[in-house]
Amino acid sequence: MTIKFIITSIFLGATFIQLCYWCFLFSKFALHQEKEKENGPKDEIPISIIICAKNESENLKKNLPLILNQNYRSLEVIVVNDSSTDDSERVLLDFKQKNNYLRIINFNNTNKSHIGKKFALAEGIKAARYETLLLTDADCHPTSRNWVYNMQKSMRDNIEIVLGYGPYEKAPGFLNIFVHYETVYTAIQYFTFALIGQTYMGVGRNLLYKRSLFFQSEGFTKHEHVASGDDDLFINEVARDNNVRVNLDETTFMYSAPKKTWKSFYHQKARHMTTGGMYQKKHQLLLGLLSASHFLHYWGGIVLILKFSTMFAGVIYMVRILVLLFWYTFILKKLKAVSLLKWIPILDAFHVVYYLVFLPKLFIGKKNTWT
């Protein structure tokens, strides 16, 4: 058994696994059709929107009006002001004078072991008057005034969790292009897994769930020592195969400002990476197999071409990338990111570098703040 044979086998095996993911799993998300809106509840469900803010006065000025002016009557908006040292409290009090359904909770976190925003978020959840919670962040803004109305439309039958989409605003530069791609690729994974009854995460900037789930699972106590995880680890714990629905109505998209430097992007993703090792084992296996096969497809192909001049590896690469482009055509249209399509071959290859950079974070977690 030669080295060339071993590398060829690894390359073909990895490519086969990749094609299985795209053709048999991610295709379900690509072809998924939203159910008719009229199938949802005819009456408005009372909603408690919860936002945690730490030194977010400028974002509050810009984004809070878009949340307070939703086309929805049965609503309260709770902003938890988490130990802010800027003028966030004054900004909130100004909004409070004009909006009596805005509630302000000043949370003073003096315990140094209380890292991240989980403790502030828990205070907001405990104070909520309504059973249905809609979570977002201070640096986010909805794409329409019907964000709340159309998110709650998905709360029918026995659904207790609704996963919304949280894209980023467009900006010049390759970093912004990669941020958009990484957000789309992550969404492909967690939406697909939700559609097949294997929900493993949601994004806290656009997430709706029942308040009772929080108390049934004893809140965030199982992972309160980790800064991140108020969204993905919590959902990983409470999601079942029949209590989750995805909402891909473009009027429910919740946009936020992207990181502007590679350093800040790295720190953001590194913080998120610390939670992956705490997912359920089956989810770790599925996600790990996806990432490993992606990496080995490129590693094997490059070695075969450069060391052994095996041109058929290039043909196999083209087959895979054409399959990706086919499914991305549907997905990017669904997620309103069609401009990414021409970048997919480059971004898909660049993602291998992303794996190498962040791989240590899967094994060496570090406590971080949520700012």
Which pLDDT band, with edges at 50, 70 and 90, does 182 fall under?
very high
Q: Which single residue is written with the structure tokens 């350093």?
A: 263
Which pLDDT does position 112 carry in this prediction? 54
Residues 44-53 have a mean pLDDT of: 95
- At 275, the pLDDT band (50, 70, 90 cuts) reads confident
pLDDT score at 51: 97
**pLDDT at residue 370 above 70?**
no
What pLDDT is recorded for position 9? 95
pLDDT at 367: 47
Given a cut of 50, whether residue 180 has pLDDT beyond it is: yes
Concatenating the DSSP letter of every residue in 190-221 gives HHHHHHTT------TTSEEEEHHHHHHTTTTG
From 182-191, 200-209, 230-239, 282-291, the region with the lowest mean pLDDT: 230-239
Confidence of residue 336 (pLDDT cuts 50, 70, 90): very high
The two three-digit tokens of residue 121, written as one number:
């978020």
pLDDT tens digits along 339-363? 999 999 999 999 999 988 877 665 5
User: How high is the pLDDT of residue 273?
Assistant: 74
pLDDT, position 115: 66
The percentage of residues in the chain with a pLDDT greater than 90, rounded to a whole number, is: 76
Reported confidence tier of residue 69, pLDDT bands at 50, 70, 90: very high
Res 283: pLDDT: 94
Indicate if the pLDDT at residue 153 is higher than 70.
yes
Which amino acid belongs to residue 204?
Answer: G
pLDDT band at 371 (very low <50, low <70, confident <90, very high): very low
| Residue 357 main-chain phi, psi, to 5 deg | -70, -40
Greater pLDDT, 40 or 180: 180
Predicted confidence band at 320 (pLDDT cuts at 50, 70, 90)?
Answer: very high
Residue 76 near residue 128 (C-beta atoms within 8 A): yes
pLDDT of residue 38: 45
Please provide the average confidence, as pLDDT, over all residues in the chain. Answer: 90
pLDDT of residue 218: 87
Integer angstrom CA distances of residue 3 from 8, 77, 82, 88, 212: 8, 62, 57, 62, 56
Least confident range of 84-93, 318-327, 331-340, 354-363: 354-363
CA distance 28 to 163: 16
Whose CA is closest to 254, among 185, 200, 201, 187?
187
